[in-house]
Amino acid sequence: MRFLILFLVISLVACDTSKEKKNPIDTQTHEEFVMYEPSEMTKHMNFMYAYNQGLKEKILSGDTLPNFTKEFLKIYTATLTNNKEKNQRFKVGAESFIKSQQKIFLQKDSLAMVKQYNKTINSCIDCHQTECTGPIPKIKKLLIH
Ligand code: HEC
């Protein structure tokens, strides 16, 4: 038992010293130096976020809304990080999201507009529920309370 403890202490110390000796430059792999390039889908998601933020402001201040922009349809064509294939769940989620987003612009009164807007934001969240849950708290901020 005593021997085991001694062994553990030595190995811990050994581990620490080896870490100290390493120059951070030597331990960096080449990949870590390559600049991070967001995927087409990531950029598109950020576009959709910003657009809906602007839409929220317009709805709240009672401004007339612009027409639905076809830019949203990029959700069907933009490539995912690492060229990951879009699964069935993504495709179905994208379709119901687009339908909901389009409907916002067709609403006649502000109450119906708010309702449709929130429905759309909830469909963003729906798709994020299984994969990519990280941005959910941020997306929730788009909801109109
Ligand atoms: C059909 C599924 C789906 C829908 C609908 C969807 N997202 Fe995403 N979202 C994703 C996926 C998948 C990613 C990760 C993209 C990648 O890695 O290429 C993502 C990434 C993001 C990110 C992270 C971007 C970054 O900088 O890392 C944000 C923010 C985001 N989405 C917001 C939204 C908002 C806002 C909406 C609605 C207006 C929305 N999403 C609708 C699937 C979806």
Q: Please, is 3 exposed, middle or buried when counting C-beta atoms within 10 Å of its C-beta (0-12, 13-18, 19+)?
A: exposed
Confidence (pLDDT) at 30: 54
* pLDDT tens profile 111-140: 999 999 999 999 999 999 988 999 999 999
- Output the pTM of the full model: 0.81
Tell me the CA–centroid distance for residue 139 and ligand 1, in Å.
Answer: 9
Least confident of 33-37, 69-73, 83-87: 33-37
Taking a C-beta distance cutoff of 8 angstroms, is the pair 144, 59 a contact?
Answer: yes
Interval 13-46: pLDDT, tens: 333 333 455 666 666 555 555 678 999 999 999 9
Residue 51 CA: which ligand 1 atom is closest? 38
Q: Which residues line ligand 1 (CB under 6 A)?
A: 39, 41-42, 45-46, 48-49, 52, 80-81, 90, 93-94, 97, 123-124, 127-128, 131-132, 135, 138-139
